[in-house]
């Protein structure tokens, strides 16, 4: 699907593989991917 006009992905992506944002497919995947960029000290606890 194409990104909606005016979104970060539509405005800044050059392709599906080269874009300015990423969304994980689930909480477990997100936790693993966040560790690629941030240490535990960089993160604030969040609850819902």
As annotated, the active-site residues are 22
Distance between first and last Cα of the chain: 30
The dihedral sign for the CA sequence 8, 10, 13, 19 = positive
Task: Give yes or no for a contact between 34 and 44, defined as CB atoms under 8 angstroms apart.
Answer: no
């Amino acid at each position: 699907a194409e990104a909606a006009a005016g979104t970060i992905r539509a405005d800044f992506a050059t392709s599906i593989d080269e874009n300015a944002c990423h969304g994980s497919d689930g909480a477990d995947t997100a936790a693993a991917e966040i560790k690629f960029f941030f240490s535990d000290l960089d993160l604030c606890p969040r609850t819902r």
